[in-house]
Structure 1
Amino acid sequence: MKLNKIIISVIALNIISSNSTYSEESLSKLDINISLKKSIVENIINSQLPYTIEDTGSGTEIFNSNKNNILGTGLNLLGAIDKKFAQSSESFIWAYKINRSPIVFNANGQEVGATTNIDGQFKASWNRDKQGTEMKLNGTAGIKSIVSVSPDWKLVANSSPFLNISNDNIPLDLNLYGLKFKTDINIGSSLEKSISSKLQKATKEIDSKIESFNLREIIEKYWSNLKEPILVNKDYNLWLTINPKSARYSDLISFNEDLGIKVGADANLHLYIGEKPANQNLNSLPEMNFGFVDDSFNINLPISTTYNNLNELINKNISDKEFNLYSGIKYSAQNVALSSDNSNLNFETNFKLSVFGFLNPTGVIKGSLKPNFNKENGVFVGENFDYSLESNSIILNVINKIFKRSIKNSIIKNYLSFDPNKEIELAKVFIQSKVNDIELDKNIHLQSEINTFKLVDLKVDTNVISLTVNTTGKSTIQITE
């Protein structure tokens, strides 16, 4: 499997693991943003709701009958007495024109709102006596959506339109043949027809758009690959095992040009060098529940191996290779054997020297040291170092006895202190280049930023040696048009 697929499995899907021998101390937290471009929602609303809304009508049906039964009765009586009045009452003319602003988004809990401000003018006139009224209209309209993640990892959306008008009941004074009436003109139903009905169409399209992002399908696409250990590197027999613990999602968030929801997981991850580990017992995804989700991932990744596997790997890489020891002196090692007891690292190796090209002594070196990792500066130091040497060269044995202290000091100074920070920084740059932008599916991209990448622990046990790497950062699954 390619490296980017491994990174997708680890970062994009928030599913991290270990096997049964790995403790809960290495539990990793991966929280990831799933973001939707605001322009997607905005374009849907814009396609349904124009920036200018107008409507006109005539007749008295716009009068608020709930509040004006007296007026309605009076009009009916007058209409019965005077047919001309009945006809002229239909000459009541009304019109309004409303302009709306661009859409503004906000998020509160699991609800996200897309709101537009509306501002306009209402006019009404009764041509018989040139009576009329005029009033400003203002308010808000838009869509509210409640978005959640079901326990089986499905995005669920429930959207509804809203309309708030400051003056949907407009007061009107009428003088009918000397009789004065006060009534209300209610334009609420007309606005509902003009605005809310259009937004209702938009809500269906928005819900469909959100729910079409099948989070579960994307995760299960990789889930089947996680049941078996993943071979990360064939040359080093490097295996990744995965075992999720829990999953959760957060409130909705609104930021910059995106709307988002955060999904997180707590899980374990482990890399092994050597034989393929046992398969993971991953029958189903853990339930997704509402809970606190941070804005970043924090991965603890131990890399473990047995001494047998480590010895095999070392001997494979140093076989038939010569190294410069001093000017004119080269050495090669064979049959390197590492072991441990009481947190000490023991080593034994056969060696062969080439001294100025004509002396070739051989022998065996045995030694021990106590590995110590400084967590503050990330430097490895070998403490309490000692060794013994046996050689077929009498001269070499004599030199070793005379200069052993100097040789030990030279080895301690030059070889038993290792600062890997430069190599770790190069590894961080390499991984960052692989996770900048990964296409998970059409119009769905994983974008990640690594903040820290460092060694945090070293454990030397009787059977296993383990090195732990920690990385933190932020990941987003971006949904575009």
Structure 2
Amino acid sequence: MKKIALYLTILNSIINTSLFSEEVTSKIDLDISFKKSIVEDIINKELPNLIEDSGSGSEIFNGKKNGLLGSGLNLLSAIDKKFSQPSESFIWAYKINRSPILFNAHGQEVEAVTDISGLFKASWSRTKDGTEMTLNGNAGIKSTLSISPDWKLESNSSPFLNISNKTIPLNLDVYGLKFKTDINIGDSLEKSISSKLRKATKELDEKIRAFDLKSIVEKNWNKLKEPILINKDYDLWLTINPKAARYSDMISSNDDLSIKVGTDVDLNMYFGEKPAPLTFTTLPPMSFGFVDDKFNIVLPISANYNKLNNIINENLKNKTFKTSSIISSNFSNMNLSSENSVLSIKMDFDSTIFNFLKRNGNIVALLKPNFNKETGTLNSDSFDYTLETDSILLKFINSLLKNKIKEIIKTKYLSFDSTKEVQVLKNLLQEKVTSVELDKNVYLKSTIESLNIENFSINDESLSITFKLIGESTIEIVEN
């Protein structure tokens, strides 16, 4: 510890060497994301930017809807040979351009959409009679993503095509005979666009389902069965026990698509011998429910006085405290205890007066620590001590300077601003969690937004401090 003071020693011992903790449920919510480019590449491979098709009337007129026109044209063929093969002599073609792909997410559904626009032309091969029509609409893939109770990522995708004119009106005036019918180009559009998108949906679903979320989570969660050694100097162990899991809506952000996943876990910390491994055999079942955008970890840590006394006394060795301008003291055999939220500190001391007079004795101090959550400061307005020594000189000095000594101890040793130390701890944690490789091409990336001391309390058995971490995490899936 860099700052040695009575209260700072106690606080830092708790921060660095928690002995046991109450069970508490923390929420760790994150996004499982993948690049939009994965979907874009699949669609681009199947569906070109320019879509063209052409054919003869036989591909349009053959159908009940156009039977009247076909009969009329057959009648005309008896008058004019140029209508003898009406279907083949009627030709058509269209060109459609598509835009870059855009994404929309609604609940569990995500759409990859491209706008399409083009022109359809049709005419008789030997006359000027014909028609021309603009084509507008959109096409794409609609996917519903979900996670099964046993942690399998499910994807059900289907293509869609919305065109302003799948049937185009055709008016003809041949030898005074007027014909009016609709040309149906739906089958051609289905063949040119929807069938290609159907291939893309199959590939997309296979790719998403091939991502073995369960194995990745299970592999890492199984590691959590074994307690994690946090501080080897003090034998500090952390256990993480999963309790529940849930997922919710799809999210479309700048370059990524993601699905929210949340877990509830119980965190416990122990001091001493390694705890027994946890006994959970399977992951908690996944269900659909509300998931926040952040993780919210609450970690209460408590230290019983017996263990804490051992740690503090070890840290007090060879430490000197300036209790006044003329007195320097070394402390040993410190014993902490508490009754009715009042902390009692008993300890032996060896003091040096005027840098050459050596005296010793013991001190019994009583204080009631206060923690200000808003400022992150610890202090003790209620503080007093009793000096027990055979030194008449030390007793006399204490009677003269006690109020001053109390004030020095209160302001210098019993007041602690945790802001700097907490910021250092936050920075250390951020380094650890910025990017963690979970599996090949799978990374856990986290940002800690805040780390605060939420509460500090004492009771007859222990001192307790509660930390709260808030931040964001994403499991990012990348391509090779």
TM score, norm. by length of structure 2: 0.89
Q: CA deviation at 1:264?
A: 1.3
Query: What's the counterpart of residue 269 of structure 2?
Result: 271
**Mapping of 1:343-362 within 5 angstroms?**
343-355=341-353, 358-362=356-360
SS of residue in 1 equivalent to 2:358: coil
Alpha-carbon contact 2:82-2:126 (below 8 Å) kept: no
1:348-368 CA distances to partner (integer Å, 9 max, x unpaired)?
222223445543323222222
Q: Does 1:45 align with 2:43?
A: yes
CA RMSD of aligned residues (A): 2.6
Q: Secondary structure at the residue paired with 2:65?
A: coil
How far residue 77 of structure 1 moved from its aligned partner, in angstroms, is 5.4
Is 2:142 the counterpart of 1:144?
yes
- Relative to structure 1, the CA distance from residue 275 to residue 257 in structure 2 (aligned partners, 3 Å threshold; closer, same or farther) is same
Listed one character per residue, the Cα deviations across residues 261-289 of structure 1 (whole Å, up to 9, x for unaligned) are 11112333233344444543423222211
Deviates more, 1:307-316 or 1:346-355: 346-355
Structure 1 counterpart of 2:112, which letter? A
Q: Which of 286, 296, 299 is the equivalent residue of 1:288?
A: 286
The answer for the alignment partner of 1:216 in structure 2 is 214
Q: Residue in 2 aligned with 1:158?
A: 156
Counterpart check, 1:118 vs 2:122: no
SS at match of 1:360: strand
CA distance in 1, matches of 2:62, 2:112: 30
Quote the Cα distance in structure 1 between the aligned partners of 2:194 and 2:293: 36
* Offset of residue 323 of structure 1: 4.3
User: 1:130: how far off?
Assistant: 3.1
Judge conservation of contact 1:274–1:310 (CA < 8 Å) in 2.
no
What's the counterpart of residue 432 of structure 1?
430
Indicate if the aligned counterparts of 1:149 and 1:288 stay in contact, CA closer than 8 A.
Answer: yes
> How far apart are residue 454 of structure 1 and its match?
1.0
Q: Identity rate of aligned residues, in percent?
A: 60
Match of 1:182 in 2: 180
Q: Would the aligned equivalents of 1:32 and 1:295 in 2 still touch at CA under 8 Å?
A: yes
The answer to whether the 8 Å contact 2:83/2:89 transfers is no
Change (3 A) 1:328 1:477: same
Partner of 2:370: 372
Contact 1:64 1:183 (8 Å CA) reproduced: no
Q: Following TM superposition, by how much is the alpha carbon of 1:161 offset from its aligned partner in structure 2, in angstroms?
A: 0.7
Deviates more, 1:104-113 or 1:236-245: 236-245
Q: Distance in 2 between matches of 1:60 and 1:143?
A: 31
When residues 413 and 128 of structure 1 are mapped into structure 2, their CA distance, relative to the original with a 3 A threshold, is closer
Separation in structure 1 between the aligned mates of residue 226 and residue 354 of structure 2, nearest angstrom: 52
- 1:25-46 deviation per Cα after TM superposition (whole angstroms, max 9, x unaligned): x432222122221122112111
Shift of 1:104: 0.9
The DSSP-based 3-state class of the residue aligned with 1:205 is helix
1:19-418 correspondence runs (5 A):
22=22, 26-63=24-61, 65-76=63-74, 85-87=83-85, 89-175=87-173, 178-326=176-324, 329-355=327-353, 358-418=356-416
The amino acid that maps onto 2:456 is L
In the alignment, residue 453 of structure 1 is paired with which amino acid? L
Shift of 1:117: 0.7
Which shifted more, 163-172 or 307-316? 307-316
Within 1, Cα distance between the matches of 2:62 and 2:115?
A: 25
In the alignment, structure 1 segments of 5+ residues that lack a partner are 1-17
Contact persistence 1:140–1:163 (CA under 8 A): yes
Q: Is the 8 A contact 2:21 2:269 kept in 1?
A: no
Q: Is the 8 A contact 2:20 2:270 kept in 1?
A: no
Trace 1:438-449 onto structure 2 (pairs within 5 A): 438-449=436-447
CA contact (8 A) 1:92 1:124 kept: yes
> CA 1:311–1:21 in structure 2 vs 1: closer, same or farther (change >3 Å)?
closer
SS of residue in 1 equivalent to 2:345: strand
Contact 2:21 2:302 in 1 (8 A): no
Amino acid at match of 2:316: I
Counterpart of 2:123 in structure 1: which amino acid? S
Match of 1:450 in 2: 448
**Structure 2 letter corresponding to 1:189:** D
3-state SS, counterpart of residue 222 of structure 1? helix
What letter matches 1:352 in structure 2? D
CA contact (8 A) 1:168 1:187 kept: yes
**Residue type at the aligned position of 1:167:** N
SS in 2 for 1:183: strand
**CA displacement, residues 277-307 of structure 1 (integer Å, 9 cap, x when unaligned):** 4543423222211111121122111122221
Provide closer, same or farther for how the CA distance between residues 476 and 72 of structure 1 changes in structure 2, counting only shifts above 3 A: same
Shift of the alpha carbon at 1:101? 0.6
Alpha-carbon distance in structure 2 between the residues aligned to 1:240 and 1:437: 21
What's the offset of the Cα at 1:69? Answer: 2.3
Deviations 1:290-343 (A, max 9, x none): 111121122111122221221122122223444454567543222222122211
Residues in 1 aligned to 2:276 and 2:461: alpha-carbon distance in whole angstroms: 18
How many Å separate the matches in 1 of 2:132 and 2:38? Answer: 38
Deviation (angstroms), 1:165: 0.9
Unaligned runs of 5+ in 2: 1-17
TM-score (norm 1): 0.88
2:197 aligns to what SS in structure 1?
helix
Instruction: Give the number of equivalent residue pairs.
Output: 462
Contact 2:19 2:303 in 1 (8 A): no
User: Which sits farther off after the overlay, 389-398 or 219-228?
Assistant: 389-398
What does the per-residue CA deviation read over 1:244-265, in whole Å, with 9 as the maximum and x for residues that have no partner? 3322111111122221111112
Distance in 1 of aligned mates of 2:290 and 2:93: 51
